[in-house]
Structure 1
Amino acid sequence: MTEPAGLRERKKQRTREAISNAAIDLFLAHGFDQVSVAQVAEVAEVSRRTLFAYFPTKESLVVHRFADHETESARVVRNRPDGRTPLVAIRDHFLDGLDRRDPITGLNDAPEILALYRMIFATPALVARMLEFNQTAEEALAEALTETAAVARGEAQVAASAIVAVLWTLARENHRSVAAGRSADEVFQQARAAAEVAFGLLDGGFGELGAS
């Protein structure tokens, strides 16, 4: 009997999560560079072939945790309410993320999130993979700006590059503050003020694209 498509997808998702969880537990315990793909597959109780079917690279086992955010800014731009500019929509979304202590903003002091970020920033291969992640985010955002904001392609690419760079910088600085021993609540006002300043600079640099 053939399984329904929905059930197959749920099983795939559970397998994907189980592999990623096993990988991250091993990486955090022993170090990213000290753990092999074969060890991850053994702990996850899957074959190397199955592992690579879900995760084409070792780095993707970690970056998978951020996959939903890769095109998030593009989705925010496409789904923004009438009358709201792209930059304001992205700013408000980021500020809301700070309020919710969304890990992607760097403002999260849960031990497992702190450990994950520390590993990423301490591992050159993972930093490089996150920069690829940012490149995909830029491309998706540039496309959304071109299609929904009547922005020329060249301007959209420059704007997307600047916006994604600002989001990455804000998240990195928030993490550094929390990793230094301050709680997310203690860092919150600083993080919000930094975001307001950063988006104000973007607003001044991109004219009608960000005008409130």
Structure 2
Amino acid sequence: MGLRERKKLRMYQEVSDIAIALFLEKGFERVSVAEVAAAAEISKPTLFRYFSSKEDLVLHRFADHQAEAARVVGDRAPGQSPIDALRLHFLAGIERSDPVTGVNDHPQVLAFHRLLYGTPSLVARLYEYLERSEAALAAALGGTLEARLAAGQVVAVQRILAMDNWRRMARGEDAERVRRDAVTAAEAAFARLGAGLRAYATE
């Protein structure tokens, strides 16, 4: 990555962090884009060169995950099925407390998720990100109607598993118990996916 790309990435991260801090403090609807720009010491037009909408200031953190499932399938080991590669990747995320899996009880992560799932416009925008993730995965699986159906099921399973994990964390349940249960639930869910999507569960 060159200097220009690194500076741009830093700008994305810094402005997003400032925006999220303001949203958490005051509420998403009570903070204007102009207020975020002023706090970040940039102009409003400059902000919109980096972020196409107010919602993207929050969902920037999900941008790198849009092609993640597709990358996992594309980079899987020889002889490994797509479903197995995705299963192992999701389990590894649980192990390292990746917030995307919902298994993370850090107060800032919990606050971020409350902001995200408690704001209708953010939830709607999140679904656009999920649709792009689904499309990328479908392409990696072959781009056929069967591949699109399979990708839709995989993305839905991952979303539902993560939501269940986050809700339990938000209720204050023991993190290690949630982690153990999350592994069990993920194994069972991917086993069902494999049983129903045999073309993608074997090589």
Report the TM range for the smaller structure's normalisation. Answer: over 0.9
Provide the C-alpha distance between the structure 2 equivalents of 1:201 and 1:49, rounded to a whole number of angstroms: 48
Q: Is the 8 A contact 1:107 1:175 kept in 2?
A: yes
Match of 1:74 in 2: 70
Distance 1:89 1:6 in 2: 31
2: CA distance between counterparts of 1:155 and 1:141? 12
Q: How does 1:93-172 map to 2 (within 5 A)?
A: 93-146=89-142, 153-172=144-163
CA distance in 1, matches of 2:51, 2:99: 22
Indicate yes or no: 2:36 matched with 1:40: yes
| Cα displacement (A) at 1:16 | 1.5
Q: What's the TM-score once normalised by structure 1's chain length? A: 0.93
1: CA distance between counterparts of 2:2 and 2:202? 43
Residue identity in the other structure for 1:158? L
Deviation of the 1:183 alpha carbon: 3.5
- Separation of aligned partners in 1, 2:28 and 2:75: 37
- How far is the alpha carbon of 1:62 from its aligned partner? 0.6
SS in 2 for 1:69: coil
Q: TM-score, normalising length from structure 2?
A: 0.97
* Larger displacement relative to structure 2 (179-188 or 125-134): 179-188
Unaligned runs of 5+ in 1: 147-151
> d(CA) in 2 for partners of 1:182 and 1:27?
26
1:50-89 to 2 correspondences below 5 Å: 50-89=46-85
Q: Percent of aligned pairs with the same residue?
A: 50
Q: Tell me by how many angstroms 1:76 deviates.
A: 0.1
Q: Counterparts of 2:105 and 2:176 in 1: how far apart (Å)?
A: 9
Number of equivalent positions? 203
CA distance in 2, matches of 1:208, 1:53: 43
Greater mean deviation of Cα atoms: 52-61 or 10-19: 10-19
Question: Of residues 205, 208, 212 in structure 1, which corresponds to 2:199?
Answer: 208
Offset of residue 19 of structure 1: 0.8
Task: State the Cα distance separating 1:10 from its structure 2 match.
Answer: 1.9
Between the aligned partners of 2:38 and 2:105, the Cα distance in structure 1 is 31
**Cα shift at 1:7:** 1.9
8, 12, 15: which one aligns with 1:16 = 12
What is the root-mean-square deviation of aligned Cα atoms in Å?
1.3
Equivalents in 2 of 1:25, 1:183: separation in Å? Answer: 27
Gaps of 5+ in 2: none
Q: Is the 8 A contact 1:178 1:187 kept in 2?
A: yes
Q: Which runs of 4+ in 1 moved over 6 A?
A: none
Distance between the aligned counterparts of 1:211 and 1:192, measured in 2?
A: 22
Give yes or no for contact 1:101–1:184 (8 Å, CA) kept in 2: no
Distance (Å, rounded) in 1 between the aligned partners of 2:129 and 2:162: 14
Indicate the SS of the match to 1:59.
helix
Counterpart-to-counterpart distance in 1, 2:26 and 2:71? 36
